[in-house]
Amino acid sequence: MTQTQRVLKILSMLIDNKTVCTETLSKFFDTNLRNIQRDMVYIKDFFSLSLYQTEKGCYKLQSESVLSNYITTKQKQNSLKDFFEFIALFDEKLLVFFDTDIFPMIKNIKKDVKQLYHILEKPIEKLDTRFVQDIKKSLIYRQYADVQLFDINSKTFKHVKPIKIIFAEGNWYLATITKDTKNNGFKFLRINFITDFKVHSNTFQRDLEAEEFIKNFQSLFQNYKEPKYEVKLLVDKEVARYFKVKKHLKSQKLIEITDNKDLILSFEINNSMEIAPLIKKWIPHIKVISPKSLDEFIKNDIKKFLNDI
């Protein structure tokens, strides 16, 4: 039985108002005592359940009302939903350990699992790596990992926090917090370029700030924990319809329609590369109004390209 199955079974026992003893569980699951103790810590930390010790190494849920209050709090329901969705994505059969009367969100969980991957467009790249199970394990249990990546050169990121699997711009990435000082340690690592992935036994707390960033990011170029600034663009009337019916970045806002039927649009970014590809794509029908630094950035890129021809 896997660690995930053990955790779910133990939690199911507690929900059924049973007393669980670490030594008994160790024999029942045919695993060492340390693994069971780690499972108990995970259950208490993630679900914030109050357990009391009936005797040495034996625990019981403090009261039914504790669990009732837990699962009826909207914020914690959402946390539970995230947890169940992540499990269902990898192995739906594991959900049978939970009573749907107590956790009714399980009934519709299959419809929501796609939310975990934050798919921005139809998949193009196949998620094909022998490390996928290790990645899933590190995500579910929030375990540190060493990740070796091959791009032009081989590079190893030690003791990283794997946060979430991301599908963006046709490719699969693992969002991580590393010890690198660049971009405050946040990196999107291309999963299919991973050449080695070693999971550590030690764990980390849920990084809500990183998860919120992932939930709202609009580009792989967006910087982590960096202030945003406003960009204003002038889109001429010949292509205005393409910007009226579609947001090309999440932060796109229509400020004004000029007398000439041109559009003035606003965007919130913190890295010029978030919006540079969009501007270049629509040249000569789009111009930078502000900031001036972005206008110069685009013009310098164009000049460099023309000089190299």
**And the tokens for 285?**
């029908």
Beta bridge partner(s), residue 166? 173
- On whether the CB atoms of residues 142 and 206 are closer than 8 A, the answer is yes
Least confident of 117-121, 127-131, 152-156, 162-166: 117-121
Residue 230 has pLDDT above 90, yes or no: yes
Least confident of 40-44, 140-144, 160-164, 304-308: 40-44
| E-assigned strand segments in 105-185 | 143-150, 154-168, 171-177
Distance of alpha carbon 130 from alpha carbon 223, whole angstroms: 30
Q: What is the pLDDT of residues 256-277, one digit of tens each?
A: 999 999 999 999 999 999 999 9
Distance of alpha carbon 106 from alpha carbon 112, whole angstroms: 10
Give the single-character DSSP code of 224.
T
For CA atoms 224, 227, 233, 239, the dihedral sign is positive
- DSSP string spanning 75-125? HHHHHHHHHHHHHHHH-GGGGGGS-TTT-GGGGGHHHHGGGGGT--S---S
Identity at 255, one-letter amino acid code: I
Domains, the chain, with CATH or none: 3-110 (1.10.10), 132-216 (2.30.30), 229-308 (3.30.70)
- On whether the CB atoms of residues 81 and 177 are closer than 8 A, the answer is no
pLDDT of residue 169: 83
pLDDT of residue 66: 46
Q: What is the pLDDT of residues 100-123, one digit of tens each?
A: 665 666 666 655 554 554 434 455
pLDDT of residue 78: 61
The CA–CA distances, whole Å, from 160 to 87, 144, 216 equal 22, 5, 22
261: left (phi over 0), alpha (psi -120 to 50) or beta: left
3-state secondary structure of 152: coil
Least confident of 120-134, 156-170, 267-281: 120-134
Distance of alpha carbon 188 from alpha carbon 215, whole angstroms: 14
Q: What is the pLDDT of residues 63-101, one digit of tens each?
A: 544 444 444 444 555 656 666 666 665 556 666 656 566
- On whether the CB atoms of residues 275 and 294 are closer than 8 A, the answer is yes
**And the tokens for 20?**
């669980």
- On whether the CB atoms of residues 309 and 303 are closer than 8 A, the answer is no
Residue 145 has pLDDT above 80, yes or no: yes
Highest mean pLDDT among 32-41, 139-148, 150-159: 139-148
Pairing of strands 263-269, 253-257: antiparallel
- On whether the CB atoms of residues 145 and 138 are closer than 8 A, the answer is yes
Residue 128 has pLDDT above 70, yes or no: yes
Residue 44 has pLDDT above 60, yes or no: yes
pLDDT of residue 11: 80
Residue 238 has pLDDT above 80, yes or no: yes
pLDDT of residue 104: 65
